[in-house]
Amino acid sequence: MNASLAKKMSFLVVSVVFICCCRSHGVTAANKPIQTFVIPHSHMDVGWVYTIQESMHAYAANVYTSVTEELSKAEDRRFIAVEQEFFRLWWDTAATDSHKRKVRQLVKEGRLEFIIGGQVMHDEAVTDLDDEILQMTEGHGFLYETFGVRPQFSWHVDPFGASATTPVLFALAGFDAHLISRIDYDLKDTMQKNKKLQFVWRGSPSLKEKQQIFTHVMDQFSYCTPSYVPFSNSSGFYWNGVALFPDPPKDGVYPNMSVPVTKETVHAYAKTMVENIKQRAAWFRTNHVLWPWGCDKQFYNSSVQFNNMDPLMKYINQNSKDFGVTVQYATLGEYFQAIHQSDLVWELRGSEDFLPYSTEPHQAWTGFYASRNVLKGVARRASAQLHAAETLFTRYRISFPDGPVAKDWALDKLRALRWAVSEVQHHDGITGTESPKVADMYLQHLLQAMMGVEELLAALFLLPHNLDQHVIVYNPLAWNTTTIINFTVTFPTAAVFDDDGQPVPAQVSNATYDLFIVVELGGLQQRKYLIKFSEKECSGTLKCGWTYEAKGVLFERLNVRDWLKTGRRLLPVLNQCYKLMFDQDTNLLHSITYLPEKRRVRMTQDFWEYHANGDVKAGPISDNYIFSANGSAVRAYEAVAMEIIPGKIVTEIRQLFFREEGDQDYAFSITTRVPECFGSRLPCHRLEQTYSLGPLRLNTEVVLRTSSSLENNKTLYTDDNGYQMMKRTHRKFANNTVARNYFPMVRTAYIEDELSRLVLVSDRAHGVSSQADGQLEVMLHRRLWNNLAWNLGYNLTLNDSSVVRPTLWMMLGSVSATAGLYQREAIELHPNNVITVLTPWQEKEPKERSPLRSVVLPPNLHLLSLSIPGWNYSSNHSVHLSHVHSGNDMRSEPDYDRVLLRIMHLFEEGEDPELSKPVTINLKDVLRGIGEVKVLEERSLTGTRDITSLQRWKWKTADNLETSDAFTVTISPKEIRTFFVHFASRNF
């Protein structure tokens, strides 16, 4: 199968194997008709080739208008609605009052079923846990407030591979069953033959049966109706044809409309459909077949669809004895209900995932792990800013309920950024697999919403207007932290003072005017710093405020061809944790010694590149999705320059890599910052590295290669969505071994041997691999073009000429030393601290509010969320349903008093002797720094269910969920617990 057909399965041509033999269907008698559940759906990408606005205009709005009308005409008709962004846009901008009344009735009757319920069908490989939860919470809140429904099932039919974190999150949200489709072609074939496409998945090795979930893998036909119809050259069972962009045809005649169902054609259609149903039935254990009816951009003219399918289904049912098949319209819930009632014992699957994903031997979908690096970075920064703003607004709202920051205005700013961050999690968004104009749309939505939240942060900080510069730093984590912040200034000399007027350790680089400041912050606290600038050097500790001017030392630029003897002249850079040795014969890193354990590891870092084939006639190609290495990687540079800038706060090593010996401008760079551990307060164990790459040459894919003396046997560990680590054992394949051994790294990756572990944590998603013993390579940037007609037609060739500047933090030490560090480091890099620079300074400042009290959790617990969602619904489900069914079409005013709190245990069972233990905390005590907790309710992950009444379906081995009393809760390894918190009101 080529990439164009594999991408969306829209017009998948499969030779139908006719199955005429009788067979046994699990516990059902062999002669009983196969019960077929025809599930009408439309797969609507929130992005991909066309912008959201273009899709709404061309077809998406018509899907919901037309489906609403058609379902109301016949009681047996059904439809599942998947992507909430399109539905919400339709509901808010296009639906009439009549449509809304009909939708409410259809939802009440269960004939229109909301599946997944998130804003989008999120990607599973490069999305972060925080953002997956956010987009689900946004969609679930809307659905519950508006209709009183809580989704129970997933429909993850199109993400490019399946992570083990997703089923855990869906179980935590109260889902009863999970559905996926895209897994390796050879694995799916084996599972089909052995009737193992359905199983109970225990996605977390720590939570085990607590969050297991029944999982259905779609067969080889995936989510699209088979397009093979012997007598038709059109699109099979899509009688409404193919959507047209930018404008629908005025006469309603679309291209590729299938031959209508008539008396003359009905038997041929029935024969084709029945044969396909029987083929599918052979792959499953029960007598029930899920037959998805739909595909990309379908049902925009659903009257044509239903008016053709109705007589076809009627004909099959009238001849069910001859066909051995019955058919019925169904929701996904009706199908899973039938499977659940079969009462079979299901095979268990552990925490292994289905990544990476390949559609054929030469098509490994591992390129998108690194596609559109800029978009991945902006999306992560937006998520970090949102997290900080949510916690800050929540604190402000509790402390100053009648404060000057308008609550409606503030919530609008937050909701705009929630929406932008949610939509980019779409499986053709954060993945970088969309067209350039859609990537620009995502970036525009993110940046506009981020600007709005910057206004909100400025208002919440109540910023004064004065002379010099004034910096406010906020810590959005519930941990005390000491860290270094930095930004570029315009003067060579600066003095920094805290809000008590005391000098603060700081450093300015004379080369780039980078100002580094050591800051200490309590959990959820903010501090203010005054920066005084001068063009002249100052003298005296008091006047300069401890500021140190760092001056760089340049080293000779060296050509690779002159590297005859290396390792003779080694230059050390030390702090309390590490001794880094740099080779003056190459200008590269030579080794690192972890000083507390006196353990030395040989290590080199540099840039290599894979050359991609751009001609489909010459062999496999790389594109937005696929990485198909055209041979081994080659060195991407011919010369290296180095500058070392020693400092009292941080020492910088800047390495510049030149593509050609004679180039004046460097193509790549590594800036390594070694913290100098002021006193013992500043963590010395992380080495902060920032890279610069680009513009790349066409059809190159550039990796940072870290080569070490670790004996890892090419075994790698990478994170699933920032939630859990997965062991990645190197495998050999007949074809494409390099690409099929690439894995997604969302936050963390490491390699290890018996003595040491090398850890990288990242500020955005990348592809990562271990292609040789001791090697850890990270794909940082890609620029590709090919002549595949499908890619050219949709503008999906990834001619990305941008310059990217990702960041990785590196740690080295024993397994025990790093085990207690990397989770927290990944989180500290993910949200980071929000820095607001203000000008000018005012000599007489307004009276300050009392400082915020700190909120500190134990080191193995993480404050995942602290926000005011604003959704207004009763915590009592029966009460809320009565309100919804009263016929009130107006959504309620936002609830500003309900706080959504999530706390996550960072460690796996057995990972650390102390940090992996369950933790018991009193939330009233923990949250005292915010206010007095009056009411605490434990909820499902997205907040729409009371955990005490949540009863998920039992699949033979499921256990009842545990609950806690009063304000004391115990959080076990890898648990995420969600609460509604109400604080006592304050009067000032």
Tokens of 403: 């404060």
- Contact of 456 with 410, CB cutoff 8 Å: yes
Residue 838, H or E segment: strand 834-838
As a whole number of angstroms, the distance between CA 404 and CA 683 comes to 38
DSSP output for 457-508: HHHHTT---BBSEEEEEE--SSS-EEEEEEEE-SSSEEEEEETTS-B--EEE
- Contact of 916 with 907, CB cutoff 8 Å: yes
DSSP output for 544-609: HTTEEEE--EEEEEEEGGG-SS-SSSEEEEE-SSEEEEEETTTTEEEEEEEGGGTEEEEEEEEEEE
Which residue type is seen at 780? L
Q: Is 867 helix (H, G, I), strand (E, B) or coil?
A: strand
Contacts of 879 (CB under 8 A, 6+ apart): none
As a whole number of angstroms, the distance between CA 286 and CA 834 comes to 54
As a whole number of angstroms, the distance between CA 609 and CA 704 comes to 9
The residue length of the chain stands at: 988
Burial of 798 per CB tally in 10 Å (0-12, 13-18, 19+): buried
Question: Whose CA is closest to 418, among 453, 393, 375, 391?
Answer: 453
Number of H helices and E strands in the chain, helices first, is: 22, 44
As a whole number of angstroms, the distance between CA 800 and CA 435 comes to 11
Contacts of 928 (CB under 8 A, 6+ apart): 853
Q: Is 947 helix (H, G, I), strand (E, B) or coil?
A: helix
The arrangement of strands across the sheet holding 493-498 comes to 493-498, 526-534, 469-474, 834-838
Q: Is 26 helix (H, G, I), strand (E, B) or coil?
A: coil
Verify whether residue 500 is a known catalytic residue. no
Compute the CA torsion angle 203, 207, 210, 212 (nearest 10 deg): 10
Spell 668-691 as b/e; 16+ CB within 10 A means b: bbbbbbbbbbbeeebbbbbbbbbb
Contacts of 946 (CB under 8 A, 6+ apart): 875, 876, 877, 937, 938, 939, 940
Active-site residue, from 128, 130, 131, 158: 158
Contacts of 93 (CB under 8 A, 6+ apart): none
Torsions phi, psi for 88 (to 5 deg): -65, -40
Q: Among all chains, which residue has been given the structure tokens 């002669």?
A: 31
Active site residues: 158
